Chains A and B, each alone.
Chain A
């Protein structure tokens, strides 16, 4: 099975969020980047399938030069090769534009399966994978926890709301968006890191893909959310704050 995994590099989870001077995005200096959480699970699923069925895992990422590190990390974990769609202006594309870049970059790959994360931890659109499926003319399923190969295609486990699940059977080629948390993520071994250095990483300039960057939607500004409730902040040392809270729980909330 040939599997393509789309991985996005995003600011690290606990990164301090500061708005940039233009008010259009967060300030990226002093920020550490990592692989998007659900994409790490998508990669893990792909590697497990490859180990069970044989085949090839190709990782695909769009972004500036630093994205190369995240691709190398995936290669170190066991992916076979990487495709980097290089652009310093990816923010100028909307989700359809990014998906078009990805579709163009993998047009000749003939993959059996394309995996993406469920949603990115920065933009949180939850859309790029599904859009890509439509562009490629292949079926998709989202919020997937498990993938099994069948005679005619695949059988996947999809998460529904409120603790419900569902199996879905589908033919391949197909695209799946993977939900976090269903497996343990592997670490890259020293051997893996060494091997990754010699693996093929193809860099394609976004501008060379002939994709129109005209947007359908545009993000105009970002801001810190305002509070809906007036939270009473209890301050002081931990002991003082704890004592103040206990008093509130006794007097105002009346649960003690």
Chain B
């Protein structure tokens, strides 16, 4: 019987949300291909987190002191060894920064190519079509894996519903990879946070967020005035913070803050996935963009297609008028 093997990531012993989404994606493939679903996670088999993996019939606890801190060499070698034992048809991973780091190496070691950041899976007569974004979300591409196995894919955060996984009783097996310290060529340091936060974007009810459409630092007062009129905090996409126009603590997205305000007003932001993951929990998204095909409109409740240099001042005036 063929197997779909899902590799999960844990935080404090529990699988992360995106890992459970990957498990759901794996369950979808297993159901459609009649394969068995297996999961694997680094940690001791006795860990509480392994009880959560009910959708998988078999769970592997990958245990080795050399895996205590993540390294690409350690993870690639261990995962490749487990894959050699299980011989899965499909390998599914969550598309995290860690997976981005080692999964292409893992695929190469197996003579395969990872299909990364998958947002959709369609199955038709045994042929699996995988959708992923191109041009920072402006286009979708449909891929398939050419003959050979396994097919490796990583799934985008939020693309699959973690709840979709049904629970069955799993048996947990310890897998001890054959690793030697000399084969791990990088020495990772302890993770640390940059500066202390002075603004709490996560608790702000209203956010006006500015992107590269603003063109120049000198134009920032335009959005600052709008934020003031609304009584909103100012947030930004990454390029604005990279340029030093606003401090990094105002950056929304996968490498910045995650926010979920009542109103998120995106001005001149295209809507790349790394930005969207930080704000798509907002109750109401408004987008102002000159490009009617900008991906931000895919998740916006209200949209204005137009030049922000005309729309934003008009909006500031209208807000002021409404507030009296």
Please determine whether A140 and B105 come into contact, CB atoms closer than 8 angstroms: yes
- List residues of chain B with CB within 8 A of the CB of A232: 301-303
**Is A198's beta carbon under 8 Å from chain B?**
no
Please determine whether A255 and B206 come into contact, CB atoms closer than 8 angstroms: yes
Please determine whether A124 and B300 come into contact, CB atoms closer than 8 angstroms: no
Query: Known contacts being A160-B191, A164-B192, A221-B141, is A124 close to B134, with CB within 8 Å?
Result: yes
- List residues of chain B with CB within 8 A of the CB of A224: 139-140, 293
Return the contact of B186 from the options A141, A220, A222, A250 (Cβ within 8 A): A141
Query: Known contacts being A139-B185, A170-B186, A253-B284, is A165 close to B305, with CB within 8 Å?
Result: no
CB nearest to B257 among chain A residues: A163
CB nearest to B72 among chain A residues: A140
**Is A228's beta carbon under 8 Å from chain B?**
yes
**Is A106's beta carbon under 8 Å from chain B?**
no
Query: Known contacts being A166-B191, A167-B189, is A142 close to B298, with CB within 8 Å?
Result: no
Query: Known contacts being A121-B136, A216-B113, A232-B303, is A131 close to B105, with CB within 8 Å?
Result: yes
Return the contact of A95 from the options B113, B293, B319 (Cβ within 8 A): B113
Query: Known contacts being A231-B302, A239-B314, is A246 close to B322, with CB within 8 Å?
Result: yes
**Is B311's beta carbon under 8 Å from chain A?**
yes
CB nearest to B157 among chain A residues: A161
Please determine whether A241 and B109 come into contact, CB atoms closer than 8 angstroms: no
B74, chain A: closest CB distance, angstroms: 11
**Is A217's beta carbon under 8 Å from chain B?**
yes
Return the contact of A170 from the options B115, B187, B190, B191 (Cβ within 8 A): B187
A251, chain B: closest CB distance, angstroms: 11
Return the contact of A231 from the options B96, B112, B283, B303 (Cβ within 8 A): B303
Interface residues of B in 119-141 (CB under 8 A from A): 129, 133-141
Interface residues of A in 151-167 (CB under 8 A from B): 159-167
- Complex CA–CA separation, A88 to B251 (angstroms): 40
Query: Known contacts being A127-B104, A243-B318, A255-B205, is A228 close to B191, with CB within 8 Å?
Result: no
**Is A21's beta carbon under 8 Å from chain B?**
no
- Complex CA–CA separation, A162 to B274 (angstroms): 11
**Is A123's beta carbon under 8 Å from chain B?**
yes
- List residues of chain B with CB within 8 A of the CB of A87: none
Please determine whether B262 and A165 come into contact, CB atoms closer than 8 angstroms: no
Please determine whether A133 and B105 come into contact, CB atoms closer than 8 angstroms: yes
For chain B, give the interface size range. Answer: 35 or more
Please determine whether A168 and B139 come into contact, CB atoms closer than 8 angstroms: no
- List residues of chain B with CB within 8 A of the CB of A26: 135, 139
- List residues of chain A with CB within 8 A of the CB of B299: 228-229
A97, chain B: closest CB distance, angstroms: 9
Query: Known contacts being A94-B113, A216-B112, A224-B140, is A166 close to B190, with CB within 8 Å?
Result: yes
- List residues of chain B with CB within 8 A of the CB of A125: 116
- List residues of chain A with CB within 8 A of the CB of B193: 163-165
Please determine whether A159 and B318 come into contact, CB atoms closer than 8 angstroms: no
Return the contact of A229 from the options B143, B256, B301 (Cβ within 8 A): B301
**Is A188's beta carbon under 8 Å from chain B?**
no
- Complex CA–CA separation, A226 to B299 (angstroms): 10
Please determine whether B303 and A256 come into contact, CB atoms closer than 8 angstroms: no
**Is A182's beta carbon under 8 Å from chain B?**
yes
- Complex CA–CA separation, A26 to B140 (angstroms): 11
Return the contact of A124 from the options B136, B304, B305 (Cβ within 8 A): B136
- List residues of chain B with CB within 8 A of the CB of A229: 298-301
- List residues of chain B with CB within 8 A of the CB of A194: none
**Is B12's beta carbon under 8 Å from chain A?**
no
- Complex CA–CA separation, A127 to B300 (angstroms): 30
Interface string of B264-306 (1 = CB under 8 A from A): 0000000000000000000110110001010101111111111
Return the contact of B114 from the options A17, A127, A143, A219 (Cβ within 8 A): A127
**Is B200's beta carbon under 8 Å from chain A?**
no
Please determine whether B140 and A255 come into contact, CB atoms closer than 8 angstroms: no
Return the contact of A122 from the options B108, B135, B189 (Cβ within 8 A): B135
Please determine whether A234 and B255 come into contact, CB atoms closer than 8 angstroms: no
Query: Known contacts being A161-B255, A164-B191, A245-B318, is A134 close to B263, with CB within 8 Å?
Result: no
Please determine whether B314 and A159 come into contact, CB atoms closer than 8 angstroms: no
Please determine whether B142 and A220 come into contact, CB atoms closer than 8 angstroms: yes
- Complex CA–CA separation, A235 to B303 (angstroms): 9
**Is B317's beta carbon under 8 Å from chain A?**
yes
Please determine whether A233 and B255 come into contact, CB atoms closer than 8 angstroms: no
- Complex CA–CA separation, A143 to B111 (angstroms): 24
Please determine whether B113 and A161 come into contact, CB atoms closer than 8 angstroms: no
For the complex of A and B, list the 5 residue pairs with the smallest distance between their C-beta atoms, beginning with the closest: A181-B242, A139-B185, A130-B104, A167-B189, A127-B104
9 residue pairs from A and B, CB less than 8 Å apart: A94-B113, A96-B108, A139-B185, A142-B101, A164-B192, A217-B115, A222-B141, A242-B317, A249-B286
